[in-house]
Structure 1
């Protein structure tokens, strides 16, 4: 993974260093990656659950085993997409895995080669993790960035631009007068700065996970 231009880590940083991520284009690529995480994770979750349930239900016949094999091997295509997404949006440089025996011939030997490759199981693990990571991404985006934007826009949209609600608290309803809405703007600005730093840190964690599970240095399964 390359050195990334985001500003994460609070200790020993100046105020300018804390605010800098707001103007950093990498921040908004990080936010886009996190924004996409929930719908992608949800889609992966349904594909995996459907495939695994169907495969187990039909495991008594050959078809079920083929379905399970299809889920495992098919996850490599999802992992490849995720690898490209991380490289493009998170600034990683994850190489395509090279641990599959390319000399394998025939359907059975090719299937065995994929099942022996550590990258197959690393990719499957990443795809399975995408749903909980996506849920956490959504929570952070709404509770931090969504609330910050709502506060910033209250003078223009008194009823709330997005009707953001966090743990039962409807943001717009807490600022009823013009004065309160104007005071909400600096509060939103401060929260916005906090939000981009937290989201950058979480994006860094995602980049580390992607590099660990989607990289080419996965150990081959014994």
Structure 2
């Protein structure tokens, strides 16, 4: 008797669906047929699972037009070859591992080392100059085209290393990295204009060649 009742209900629903399909276009038939199948075959556990799935979908799809505020630190390249990494860095490494650098384009036009150094002196409001006066020079590594120009003529993203002027090795004993970050954007307001620096806004790969060269 229960099966006969379900069959009658299903038939009535399909008739209604056919009418809706004829009046409102494709899509109703398949959706409604699935609903019919649910009501006929789902037991209590199936319905619980279904409701849980719908709940999770609503959480993640309520607002698809949101934006995430990133700090410059979120874009810092991470040396993934290190044998030991703190837990927070491991998470960052995983984020980078699944990231896609295939769309990055190496920059042909980028600042010379001395131009990048001048830009960073200005950006750090002179703090970097104190270290340069002591015994530090800067070198930049591979640069990538950054499409986030913000109205500027040109913008690139590059890693930066601080060197000891005497040894020409990385200035690991200096406190320069309290001021200097590992990566920056460099931009020109107009063609042939001077280079300026800003916080990084593009995720780029860790430049192993740059740092290995000056170990």
Q: Per the shorter chain, which TM-score range? A: under 0.3
Larger Rg: 2
TM-score between the two structures when normalised by the length of structure 1: 0.20
TM-score between the two structures when normalised by the length of structure 2: 0.20
**Greater per-residue strand proportion:** 2
Structure with higher RCO (Cα < 8 A, 6+ apart): 1
